Structure formats: structure tokens, C-alpha cells
Chains A and B, each alone.
Chain A
Amino acid sequence: MTTQRTSGRRKQALAAAAVVAGLLTTAACGGGKDDGGENGAAGFNAANNKVAQASLVKKGGELKFASTQDADSWDTTRGYYGFMWNFSRYYSRQLLTYKAAPGAAGAELTPDLATDMGQVSDGGKTYTFHLRDGITWEDGKPITSKDIKYGIERVWAQDVLSGGPIYLKDVLDPKGTYKGPYKDTSKDHLGLKAIDTPDDKTIVFHLPKPNSDFLQFVALTSASPVRQDKDTKSQYGLHPFSSGPYKFQSYSPGKSLVLVRNPNWKASSDPVRKAYPDRISIKFFTNANDMDQRLLAGDYDLDLAQTGMSPQGRTTALKSHKANLDNPVSGYIRYAVFPQSVKPFDNIHCRKAVIYGADHVSLQTARGGPVAGGDIGTNMLPPSVPGAEGQSYDPYEIAGANKNGNVAKAKEELKACGKPNGFSTTIAVRNNKPVEVATAESLQASLKKVGINAQIDQYDGSQTAGIIGSPSNVKKKGYGIIIMGWGPDFPSVQGYGMPLWDSKYILQSGNNNYGLIKDKTIDGLFDQFVTTLDESKKKQIATEINHKVMEGGWYLPFTFEKFINWRSSRLANVYTSNSYNGMYDFVNLGLKSSK
């Protein structure tokens, strides 16, 4: 009786959802004009790795973002979300930043506050930068080298300003001798010995050991200047003091954010930012479908989070507004990882049995298919990272002969692993990611065919760091397969793979090396990578690291992720960039009309 009733309700719910979806689709079909002309959208993929409608841009108007997610923090030291780094270029500047260019060119660094890319000396252990003329804060005072040093010092104050990346802390002060500006007893609170500021226009970094990605660290949002007298410590994210072309007018967390022009910013001092709109706003939504409908109706210009439209909005947009869409590669890889602490995944053959047993097409479909989900992932280095080979490196023939799963090969591996009849295990998946749950179910179904019985444990997704980030908890719970995803912090194997694969990064809490990989060759390659300054050699090492990771069989990649992102017909000068994982580069977006 109960089952019947539940089943009936489910049918009712499905029917209701179908009716609403139908109505929403019909309702949304009326708006928009996709004539491809000046007032129309540029065309499908017109802004994917190329600039769309650059000549139509006009100065002025309000650029309107919509989002279902607020930033983790707008404090330049604390923010870690990709969209926050992208958006922060409106109100913060760094010594170096990414070029305002589409595709791979956008991942190249260019001087921002600095006059050039810096002088490297002492075998890569000293970096000297000089500051441009005319760089100012929002109150008109000049930005000095001391402001940059202080902004960087804030990264050390992890007890107050947690959350952001700590690369600079690790590379400049690996022993952690400096305690941060708030515990700094020196008079000017600028006691970090690794940075010198001989005058207001010069800043010198002293690294204990060279690091080939140091310039990438200098370009991080967490390397932005912060003025001491404006530092409100943990409250800074509520109203950061601007060094960029826009400043905060108002911010109500989870409700709205408005930036207006910073009258003291000088275009002549900034070779990157064009500052087209007069005003930039974000409206936060709780209903993703509602937000997508508003985007389709032209009430807003783009989604701040840039993680793709909801399935309903996507269907409507692909059907009726395809010219407003782009389908970029996100830079993320979605995958399953096998913790070696959970038997029998300590045995490489058992790990390979899962890789061969999985139906990769079905996993891709669960992720949304080739358009909304991405291409089948064949290895663990995202296509946007130098050294990546994309689908051409496919050691397990995941996208080739074995794309629908290879039962015979999986059974061979099971035999070699000493489990000819298969085994039981648990798949851990975040409960707040429906796509990941669908992926886990797909994996569960295909593994059953080879005799691997996997139970799915949906854990609290907001507690990821404490649940799967705790190796002891993973072992206790018997999580043999963990479903996850990862994107690069910056386009380099260090920025992507080091937290995942280097044994130094195995942590007791907040761990990301879920496979518990302790491989001397991989560790050695990372050590070699960070001291290699030659770019082509760096690429080679990155390729080699990726090969070693795949040979270890610790990962089953699902997809090289792709998104369907919306751009309104009002937008001009739009392009996706590798610097922000395939997002639109926010900083130079403009409008076709100043109204």
C-alpha cells in the first residue's frame, strides 16, 4: 500500500514537473532576438575562445550579473572561488595579471601594477618589480610597494583570514616563521623578511628556493595590495578598498552587490582594464530556474558563477536562443578516485578493474552528455594546463575501444588482484550535487556487471573537508571510491595536481590527496618542476607527471568538463578565457548601449 502511494506521488510529481517545464519552455520562447545583427546575439560559440562583437561596445550602462551563489569572500586574501577571482579584477589589481584575451592567450601573464614582468636574479630566488606611475587607491592616494607587501602579508594571518590560497606563504616562508601582520610587533607591521620595499615604487621578493610558478603566485588575487589603515581584518570582505576601476557602493551578502566607477582610477595607469560599464551589479537568486528565465528574458546579462545553466534553462536556451550560448571547456576534470587505505584498493589491479569495468559513455551521459557534460576524460591533466595532451593520451582506451566498459579485461584484472569473484565497496558522493549522484549510480550499475558491488553513501556535501578530507574517516567508512572534481588554481601542473598527487599534501583534515598517493617518482617530478624555469621543460615534466598518475591507476576520469553558458544580446566584447577555466573574462565586458 505504502509503495503504491509513493509510486503514485512520484508519478504525480513527475507529471507536475513536466507540466511546469513545458510551460516554462513555452513561456521563454517568446523573448529574445537572435538575428545576429547589432542588436542580436553573436551566435553559438561565437565567444568561445574568440572575441564576440567587440566593435559594438559602448561606454556606460549597467552590467547585470545574476547568481545563485555568493562568493566565499570578496576579501582578496580570502576568496577562493573562480568567479570571485575573475570578478575581483574590477576592484583589485596585482603586480601581474592575466592578459585580457580569449582562450589560451588569456592564460598568459602581463604587467598590471608593475612596469614589466620583473627581474629574476640569484638563480630564480630573487624577483624585483617596479611600480607604474599614476596607480591610485579609491581615495586618490598612491598605491605603494608597502601596500602590496601588506596585502601579501595578510595571507599569513590564516587564524583571522582563512579560506584563500596559501601558495605565497608556502613559497616565501615554508618554515612559517612569520606570524602575520596582526601579530607583527614591528612598528609598521611589515616584518615579513622575504619581501623588501626599498622605496615606494620597488618591491623585492626573496625566495628560499626557486619556484617556477612564482609569477603565477604574484598574479593571484591574494597578492593584491591592501592599505593598512583600511584593513578591517575579518570584515574586509564586506567592503574591500578598491585599487581597480570600480569600487563597492553596496553589498548585502546573499542579496545584492553594486560596484560603481572609481573616479580616482586612471585608464592611463592600467594597460589591462577598459572599464566599459558605469555600474556593475549582482543580484542573488535562490531559484536557479527563475534565474535562468530572467537571463533568457534579458533582465540580466550573465551568470556570475559560470557553471552552466540549469537543465531546464539549458533545454530552452538550446532550442530557442542558441546564438546566446557558448560551450567552453571548463578546465575541470570530473573523476572517481580510489583511496589506497581502503581494501582492496591498495592493489593496483583492483583499481584497474574498476577503470576497465566502468561504462564511460554512460558516465558521460550522467554528467550531461558531450555538450553539457563534456568530452570523455581519458587522463588527469585538464586540456587548459600546459603539458596536457587531451584525449590523445588514453592509456586505458577510455574513449576508444573500452568506452562502453570492457568486462573481460576487468575480470582479468580482478583475477590478478586476487578477487576473481569481485568484491564489495562503497562509493562516497556529495548529496548536494545531483549530477555527481547520477554519476555514482551509473558507475554502480556498470561495476555490477563485473561483480563489483558498490553501495552509494551520499554524505553532507557542505562537510566535504571533514568527511572525505579526513583520511581516517575515509578508512573508517570504507570509502573505496570517491566521486570528485578539480580545476586548476592557475594554468600549471603545480596549480592543478600538487594538492592531489604530491605526498607532502596528505593532510589529516581538509586533505585533497584522496588517493593517498605516496610515489617518490611523482614527488620528485614536482620538486623538479618547481625549480625548472624553462617553459618547454616544464611542459614535459607536467606530461610525465600525468602519465605516472594514470599508470598508478588511482583515478578514473569521467569528463573533461564543458558548460553551456549564457550571454545576453546586450553584451559586447565577450570572450572565454583559459585563465578562469573557460569562464567569460569579466574585466572587459561591455554593453552595446549605454542606457
Chain B
Amino acid sequence: MLAYLIRRLFAAAVMLVVVILAVFCIFFVFPKWAGVDIASSFVGKQADPAAVEAVRAKLGLDDPVYSQVWEFFKGIFVGRTYVGGGDVTHCAAPCFGYSFRTEQAVWPVLTDRFPVTLGLALGAAVLWLVFGVAAGVLSALKRGSLWDRGAMVVALAGVSLPIYFTGLLSLAIFAYGLGWIDGQYVPIGDSFSGWLGGMLLPWITLAFLYAAMYARITRATMLEVLGEDYIRTARAKGLKEQVVIRKHAMRSTLTPILTMLGMDLGALIGGAILTETTFSLPGLGQKVLDAIKNQDLPFILGVTLITSLAVLIANLVVDILYAVIDPRVRLA
């Protein structure tokens, strides 16, 4: 088990390095090849040549790529100091870069916004798990019934309708129209009820999409499991149907659901861009969109890294859970 764990951790670390290198190339190397002067986009309307040069030096844009990457990695563990003109900017460890657009270190901003995204992802996950799995199981058990057909139509709608549509629609009806919910984000520290009010629509919108997918997959998996020999055996032994479903069928059905949940949560923690943009939630997704619009490369790099990290951790957890559930995986 330990060897397996070390192997997975090593693979995750390698993957992270590859991601950083790829992102560096996309944002710092390829534009240079295309003849785009990144430094000039950091100075305003009246581009003073000295200012362009200073920005270039401060960002280290003329340094070789390997040197830039090395400085970046070093900064994560020991911090980093940027020197330009008469100004010295220190970015404390873990330094995931420094934005010279907003004059902020990347890491504190990401950690400040992380709770919003985490709250969004976890709240929505609870909703979609409860409703999605329940709807899927019921549909499988009542296959062909009106309930099954109705639930699957709703699920199909959920999968088909994009978040910017369902989000705007929910805002139009419940916030602007009926006025039942304010729909504006309030930090949990300011008001718990305000926070709940602000998060409810994003949770429901996000959960509607995922619950639909989970319902369809739960239904399909459940139907497959219910056709397995061991279920027939359990029934033949005279076990109650409730016990057969809960103790035998559900366990097998939940395995792929848990895998999906790990992946989805990982991706969402990296930033639910559409949901956060639609509802103006100040999370990581909103930040990354803002960074893309303003070509704020350090933040794009930072959020990409966090996303990759979240997905890798989620994968790692799933892999470990697999190994716990199924010993054959450890030997593979």
C-alpha cells in the first residue's frame, strides 16, 4: 500500500511540474514567438520606453524560460523578491507569483477567494448528490414508470441547459421578478442568513446541471447492478428487497459515483467560472476570468496551478479509495 501511495504521489508531482511548464510556455513563451511584447501591455496609454523596459526586467521576461520556471518553484518554498527601479517587492512563501497589475501577491488573493469557491462547490455537491442519486435510484427501481420518464426528462433538460441560461433564468424569476431571494453574495462572516440567501441560487443552478448527470449515471449503473448474479442470489436467499438495494446494489452503484464526485469537485474547486460570473461571486472562477481579460499572467498561472492541484488531489484520493476498496488495484 505504501509503495502504491508513493508511486501515485510521485506521478502527481510530475504531472504538476508538466502543467506548470505548459502554462509557462502558453503565457510567456508562445506570445514572444508570435511577436507580442507582453511588457508593453503592462504600461498604460502613454507608453514610456523606460517603463516598458523596467516592467520587462521586473517580470524577468528576458530571462531564459528555465530560469523563470526555477525562480517560480523557488518562490513557492522560500519566497521571492522582485526588484525594479527603486522599489523592492517581497512575496512571502509560498509565493505563487506576484501581480504587477493589482500589486498583490497571488497566494493571499487565492486563499481569500478560495472559501467562496469551496462553499459553492460543497453546497452544490450536497444538493446534487442527494437529489441526483435519489432520483437515479428511484428511476431505476421504477423503470418505465411515469416517475422514471419524468425524472429523466428533467435530467435531460438539466444536462442540456447551460449554466448561463439556468443561472440568468433563476435570477430573473426569483431575484429580479419575485424578489424572494436577493441573489447577491454576502460574506459568511457578515451575515450567515445573507450568505445562505446569496448562495442558494448558485447552489441550485450548479446542482441542477450535476444532479441531472448523476441521476442518469446512477440510474444506468443501478440497472446494470440489479441485473448482476449476486443480486439475484441475494433475492433468492430471501433477503428483503430494501436490504438487497441498500446493502448490495447501492454499494456497487456508488463506486463510479464517488469517482465522478472526486473529479467534479476537483474541477469545481479550480473555479466554477460560469456560475461565479453569472452570480458575481467573488471566488476563484471570477478571479481567473478577470485575470484572463486583463492578461494578468501571474494570476492565470496561480489559478491554473490550484486547479491542477485540486484535480490531482481529487484523483489521488479516488485512487487511494480504489486501493482500499479493491486490493487488485494496489498490485496493478
Q: Which residues from chain A sit less than 8 Å from chain B, CB to CB?
A: 16, 19-20, 23-24, 26-28, 30, 72-73, 78, 80, 157-160, 162-167, 169, 176, 180-183, 233-235, 237-238, 252-255, 284-287, 289-291, 293-294, 297, 299, 432, 460, 462-467, 469-470, 472-473, 476, 489, 499, 507-512
Contact = CB atoms under 8 A, between A and B. Distances in A.
A289 B169 CA distance: 12
B40 A287 contact: no
Interface stretch (B99-107, B140-148, B305-313): B99-107
Nearest to B37: A466
Contacts of B123: none
Interface string B17-48: 00000000000000100011111111111111
Given A183-B86, A234-B100, A23 B177 contact: yes
Contacts of A169: 48
Interface residues of B, number: 59
B81 interface: no
Given A159-B84, A509-B52, A286 B289 contact: yes
Given A30-B177, A287-B278, A465 B47 contact: yes
B176 A470 contact: no
Contacts of A72: 44
A253 B286 CA distance: 12
Given A80-B46, A167-B46, A234-B87, 18 more contacts: A27-B177, A159-B53, A160-B84, A160-B86, A162-B54, A169-B48, A180-B85, A234-B103, A284-B280, A293-B172, A293-B176, A460-B36, A463-B31, A465-B40, A465-B43, A467-B36, A470-B35, A511-B47
Chain B binding surface, main DSSP class: helix
B293 A462 contact: yes
Contacts of B286: 254, 286
Contacts of B52: 509-510
A233 B87 contact: yes
B54 A160 contact: yes
Nearest to A505: B46
A286 B290 contact: yes
B104 A20 contact: no
A266 B280 CA distance: 38
Interface in B35-82: 35-55, 58
A158 B173 contact: no
Given A163-B43, A286-B290, A20 B295 contact: no
* Interface-centre pick from B58, B172, B175, B276 (highest chain A CB count, 10 A): B172
* Interface-centre pick from A19, A163, A253, A285 (highest chain B CB count, 10 A): A163
7 tightest A-B CB contacts, nearest first: A510-B47, A182-B86, A159-B85, A159-B54, A27-B177, A158-B51, A162-B51
Nearest to A467: B36
A316 to B, nearest CB: 10
Interface string B158-188: 0001100100110111011100000010000
A166 B286 CA distance: 33
Contacts of B171: 290, 293
B294 interface: yes
B47 A182 contact: no
A287 B43 contact: no
B278 A290 contact: yes
B280 A24 contact: no
B169 A23 contact: yes
A166 B48 contact: yes
Contacts of A80: 44-46
Contacts of A509: 37, 39-40, 47, 49, 52
A593 to B, nearest CB: 21
Nearest to B116: A255
Contacts of B39: 466, 509
